[in-house]
Amino acid sequence: MEVTGCHDLRVVILFIVIAVVSSYLFLHASLRAMQNERERIGWILTGAVTIGLGIWLMH
């Protein structure tokens, strides 16, 4: 069985941008969580929501 299809280049580029931006924001929030003891939980939650939304948007 052969599966064929086509991809819209604009959508592919949009998904790549979403992946890069959400990954960057997640890593930034993770670094902030390691640097700031008082606001650690907030930064961890921010990173989790950011990467979760990035994954959700691409599926």
Single pTM value for the model: 0.78
* 23-48 per-residue burial string, b: 16 or more CB within 10 A, e: under 16: eebbeebbebbeeeeeeeeebeebbe
Question: What pLDDT does 37 receive?
Answer: 86
Tens-digit pLDDT string for the chain (59 aa): 787 788 889 998 999 999 999 999 999 999 999 998 899 999 999 999 999 999 998 88
